[in-house]
Amino acid sequence: MVNEKNEFVIGFNRNISTLTSKHDGDVSGGNQWGEIVHEEDIGSSEKTTWRENKTRVLKKHWKRFWCCYLVAIVIFLAIFLPIFFLIAIPAIGQRIVDNTDLPIYGAEILDPKPNRISFTLHTSLKVPAGLRIHTDPLDLNLFNADTAPTEPYISVSLPAYNLKGKTDMTVSQNDTKILNQPEFIDTLTNAVYNDKFTLSAKGSTVGHLGKLKARLTLNKNVELQGLDKLRGFSIESARLLMSKDDNGDNILGTAILPNHSVFTFALGNVTLNLKSSDLVVGQATIQDVLLRPGDNKVSLRGILNMGFILENLEDIMEYQEEALRNGEIELSASGNSTTYNGVHIEYYEKVLNNLTLTTRVSILAVLGDTLQGLLDDSNSSIGDTLRNLTGKLGNTTLSK
């Protein structure tokens, strides 16, 4: 009896004999396998047909509208490329400059004049590996970042450079005009009185990366070691003269002037007031001072006002009480004048005249240096007496 509903069953009209097994297999099992294979074939065929149709549609669409796409690409490039070259490239170049350090390895202020100096700066710039950038010459302005509006106190010219990796750079310019003396003095004051100070520099140039070029601005604030009030100043030796020499001096000695910065300063002749507390007891002069980084051993000579010292001996002894207990004398020195080639350098004087250096000197060392000086002085009658006395003592010792 035929089920009338079979006509609605999937696979009802298939040839069952073709789906049976070769070995009297189960007819129902063969039907199931055939149905699965047939359904997979249908799915694969449908996917292939769908891809072919899609490809055919896309090709047809491209043939009809390729000119529209070409126009769109041209318009996009016409908009994007100017933006890329005019905005993106300069921005990338500026970012490289902003992220680059400006280390200061050394600097020199030489040949000072009332309104000019010879200035040298040793630094470097580092660009990312693989880049080669050519920079046009630029004017590098040094300014005080704490002052608003900022005004350069000196301006120096840098030549053109080819930058690749780390490139050492030296800025050197003779007779550099001091454009703003108050700002220059403020910067010198910060450098001398503090253990750290900031050197600010700014300049603009054009950078070339192959055929591309961009306007670049160098704006750096570099923290440097300061002189820290010449911390560590000391008088290494000092001796008194029984009578003034041909220059009118009655005290000679050597001092150590420490320079903790990377700057070299040509100061010239520096005259110092010698003080005990607030009492000025004499003056000393250091000739031809060239203050290099590190400890600088210098000779000093001057005059002690013995009459003034005797008149104020009580006050001096009271102030020196603690030092005397330790067998020492406390001596201070402050700036009086600074001259270079006989000309007063006011910007140095305004900085150094407010600086006071204090140290202690061993009394025994002073006495020993003084006696040694007398022994070495062939023109001193006291020296002759001491030499004779020393000789007699030596002969007496040998005879024993």
Residue 370 near residue 376, CB atoms below 8 Å:
no
My answer on whether 374 and 252 are in the same domain is yes
My answer on whether 180 and 209 are in the same domain is yes
**Selection from 207, 218, 231, 235 nearest residue 330 by Cα:** 235
Within 10 Å of residue 397's Cβ, how many Cβ atoms? Answer: 8
Question: Is residue 14 situated within a structural domain?
Answer: no
Question: Is residue 379 situated within a structural domain?
Answer: yes
Residue range(s) defining the domain that contains residue 165:
104-226
Residue 272 near residue 283, CB atoms below 8 Å:
yes
Half-sphere exposure of 225 (CA within 13 A, CB side): 15
Domain count, the chain: 3
**C-alpha 201: how far from chain center:** 11
Peptide bond into 128 cis (omega under 30): no
Question: Is residue 109 situated within a structural domain?
Answer: yes
Question: Is residue 357 situated within a structural domain?
Answer: yes
Which one of 99, 132, 164 terminates a domain? 99
Tokens of 87: 């905005």
My answer on whether 71 and 152 are in the same domain is no
The domain that holds 109 is classified in CATH as 2.60.40
Mean confidence (pLDDT) of the chain: 82
Distance CA 57, CA 131 (A): 47
My answer on whether 159 and 206 are in the same domain is yes
Each residue of 197-215: pLDDT tens digit? 999 999 999 988 877 788 8
Distance CA 119, CA 178 (A): 11
Question: Is residue 13 situated within a structural domain?
Answer: no
Which one of 99, 115, 138 terminates a domain? 99
Question: Is residue 21 situated within a structural domain?
Answer: no
Give the bridge partners for 195, in sequence order.
none
- Supply the pTM of this predicted model: 0.73
My answer on whether 120 and 222 are in the same domain is yes
My answer on whether 221 and 296 are in the same domain is no
My answer on whether 189 and 273 are in the same domain is no
Question: Is residue 34 situated within a structural domain?
Answer: no
Can you list the residues of the chain whose pLDDT is less than 50?
1-5, 7-12, 16-30, 33, 36-37, 381-387, 389-400
DSSP state, residue 17:
G
My answer on whether 334 and 278 are in the same domain is yes
**What is the predicted pLDDT for the residue at 47?**
57
**What is the predicted pLDDT for the residue at 130?**
78
Assign 363 to helix, strand or coil. helix
Which one of 198, 226, 254 terminates a domain? 226
Burial of 15 by CB count in 10 Å (0-12 exposed, 13-18 middle, 19+ buried)?
exposed
My answer on whether 172 and 237 are in the same domain is no
My answer on whether 87 and 153 are in the same domain is no
Question: Is residue 22 situated within a structural domain?
Answer: no
Burial of 391 by CB count in 10 Å (0-12 exposed, 13-18 middle, 19+ buried)?
exposed
Residue 261 near residue 227, CB atoms below 8 Å:
yes
CA 343, 349, 351, 355 dihedral sign is positive
My answer on whether 265 and 379 are in the same domain is yes
Helix runs in 84-109, H state only:
89-98
Each residue of 275-313: pLDDT tens digit? 998 999 999 999 999 999 999 999 999 999 999 999 999
My answer on whether 247 and 175 are in the same domain is no
